[in-house]
Chain A
Amino acid sequence: SQQGEEDPQALSIQEGENATMNCSYKTSINNLQWYRQNSGRGLVHLILIRSNEREKHSGRLRVTLDTSKKSSSLLITASRAADTASYFCATDHNDYKLSFGAGTTVTVRA
């Protein structure tokens, strides 16, 4: 069954603002990953955070992980129109495959 659940389901922000989305999961993980999907395209890997890490940065992306709360957040700073996409979290539960959530749809308004 799907483990990751993203919140909110949809987010609309103004260009330049920050976007934050959250992911919760149910059982212990080896790592948690975030992916982006542009409309009609395949998913693209953004960042991977391991269970022993608490925070990770990549460019304008910041990911946090709280294993005690079984949750993660993805922050996109200074959003751009090109950040309009769906964002998915995926969890590896030590079984060599990923469980994806239903995603957060982000719209960045010019």
Chain B
Amino acid sequence: IAGITQAPTSQILAAGRRMTLRCTQDMRHNAMYWYRQDLGLGLRLIHYSNTAGTTGKGEVPDGYSVSRANTDDFPLTLASAVPSQTSVYFCASSPVGGDEQFFGPGTRLTVL
């Protein structure tokens, strides 16, 4: 692994289903982030973690949860997907909060 990876690349999901988007980084960055990108709205922060073991809510956290059990992994879970969660999801990391962020390739999620 070099940098930050996300899985899956894309997913079509039925409404009401549970889904976990995976994010892994190998740069030993302390901070990690989840964003959603919708046309015309730019990136909106869902949740973040400034260090392993801690998480915080971003601008649009409702319907999403995260965990940060270790430095490398930061999964995002949709407990019960709804069509409004159709979006492209990006994971990012930075050495510390507020620094330059490194982005993953994104997960395109469609909720029907």
Contacts and interface: CB of A to CB of B under 8 A. Distances in A.
Interface of A: 1-2, 30-31, 33, 35, 40-45, 48, 88, 90, 92, 94-103
A98 B98 CA distance: 6
A92 to B, nearest CB: 4
Q: Which 9 pairs across A and B sit closest by C-beta, in order of nearness?
A: A96-B97, A42-B103, A102-B42, A92-B98, A100-B43, A45-B100, A43-B103, A100-B42, A96-B98
Nearest to B48: A97
Given A30-B98, A31-B98, A97-B58, A102 B103 contact: no
A98 B101 contact: yes
A42 B103 CA distance: 6
Contact of A48 (B35, B100, B104): B100
7 contacts: A2-B41, A2-B59, A31-B98, A41-B105, A92-B98, A97-B48, A97-B97
B27 to A, nearest CB: 13
Interface residues of B, number: 27
Contacts of B105: 41-42
Given A1-B59, A43-B90, 6 more contacts: A33-B101, A43-B101, A96-B96, A97-B58, A99-B45, A100-B43
Contacts of A97: 31, 33, 45, 48, 56, 58, 97-98
Contacts of A42: 90, 92, 103-106
Given A96-B31, A96-B50, A43 B100 contact: no
Contacts of B98: 30-31, 92, 94-98
A1 B41 CA distance: 11
Given A41-B105, A43-B43, A33 B90 contact: no
A58 B51 CA distance: 30
Contacts of B96: 96
A102 B35 CA distance: 13
Nearest to A97: B48
